[in-house]
Amino acid sequence: MKRPTIAGVHLVASTRSGSGLVPGVAALAEEHPTVEIVCAPRPGASDAIIGVDAWSSAADFAAFEASVASSTSDALTICGAPSELTRTAGEVLTRFQRYVDRRNEASESPVFDAVLAAHAALHDVDKPLVKADLDHAIDTWQWMLRLEVHASLAAQLAALFHDIERLESEPDRRIEQHAPDYAAFKETHARRGAERAEEVLRGAGIDPSTASRVRELVASHERRSRDAEVDLLNDADALSFFSLNSPGYADYFGPEQTRKKVAYTLRRLGARARARLDGVRLRADVREHLLFVEAA
Ligand SMILES: [Fe+2]
């Protein structure tokens, strides 16, 4: 099935604001430079339509996921109170950033296209956990580009491949909740994934020194270090857990394990990346875990 793309967002105000302008549009456009933000409806378009009130009050993201995934349009329409439009659009674009084509000078190349195709081909998306892994890999890559506009080729490839080991160890069921030592389990996951990433990248035409650097980054991606690119990968991966994976994680593992995971993931976030969580719509139970862990 073809992946959706999001190239535009239409903001439709339910009432006129005092000035007639939707506040915050310039900042939203700056944050999402590859998305055309238009303050007008698009009559006749088959856009997925997301209402501000529905988005902020929904118990889950399932209905929005289904509507965006099945849309044949390359734009979204967000409608509601003018004061809430850009905040909602920002949260929606974050939730669905895996469908936005954001790259930089290091990833705008035919060899990167080849890597993306090879990476996608490793994933059997008929398996829900594997599909979730593919979505998370792309989402982590997109977070990385938002955090560091000039992220290197190796860093971006490490974002894409950082969890590749899960395709072997956890394609049908997750096992991390059974690990007697969670940190040691994650270190093994990182080391094994690093070897696999280097092998796949060499096969897809990435030069040996870049592939070797990716191996280094993936091998140490589970904790912060003195290496700025390892920290960048930690930030992107942790943000993706919160913005994309956390509701599915909570449904699969239950509240006790989710609270542990939230605490573990929070420790991987630097202060600058932590501030980005303010623009992320978290599900109510996940937000509660986050507040509990931060207060502890
Ligand atoms: Fe990850």
Dump pLDDT digits (tens) for 30-66.
999 999 999 988 877 788 999 999 999 998 999 999 9
Q: How far is the CA of 136 from the centre of ligand 1 (A)?
A: 7
Phi, psi of 48 (to 5 degrees): -65, 135
CB atoms within 10 A of CB 81: 14
pLDDT tens, position by position, 135-159: 999 999 999 999 999 999 999 999 9
Query: What is the pLDDT, as a whole number, of residue 20?
Result: 62
The answer to whether residue 1 scores a pLDDT higher than 70 is no
| pLDDT tier for residue 169 given thresholds of 50, 70 and 90 | confident
Structure tokens at 288: 């509660």
The answer to whether residue 28 scores a pLDDT higher than 60 is yes
Q: How far is the CA of 289 from the centre of ligand 1 (A)?
A: 19
Phi, psi of 6 (to 5 degrees): -125, 110
Q: How far is the CA of 137 from the centre of ligand 1 (A)?
A: 7
Q: How far is the CA of 250 from the centre of ligand 1 (A)?
A: 15
Domains of the chain: 8-99 (no CATH), 110-295 (1.10.3210.10)
Q: CA–CA separation, 44 vs 272, rounded Å?
A: 41
Q: How far is the CA of 163 from the centre of ligand 1 (A)?
A: 5
Q: How far is the CA of 91 from the centre of ligand 1 (A)?
A: 20
Q: CA–CA separation, 65 vs 242, rounded Å?
A: 16
Tell me the average pLDDT across 68-97: 94
Q: How far is the CA of 129 from the centre of ligand 1 (A)?
A: 13
pLDDT tens, position by position, 90-139: 999 999 999 998 999 999 999 999 999 999 999 999 999 999 999 999 99
Query: What is the pLDDT, as a whole number, of residue 217?
Result: 96
> 12 and 79 in contact (C-beta within 8 Å)?
yes
The answer to whether residue 17 scores a pLDDT higher than 70 is no
Q: How far is the CA of 238 from the centre of ligand 1 (A)?
A: 7
> 217 and 230 in contact (C-beta within 8 Å)?
yes
C-alpha closest to that of 281 among 138, 92, 19, 50 = 92
Query: What is the pLDDT, as a whole number, of residue 103?
Result: 97
Query: What is the pLDDT, as a whole number, of residue 51?
Result: 96
Q: How far is the CA of 164 from the centre of ligand 1 (A)?
A: 9
pTM flag (> 0.95):
no
Q: What counts of helices (H) and strands (E) characterise the chain?
A: 15, 4
Q: How far is the CA of 162 from the centre of ligand 1 (A)?
A: 6
The answer to whether residue 242 scores a pLDDT higher than 70 is yes
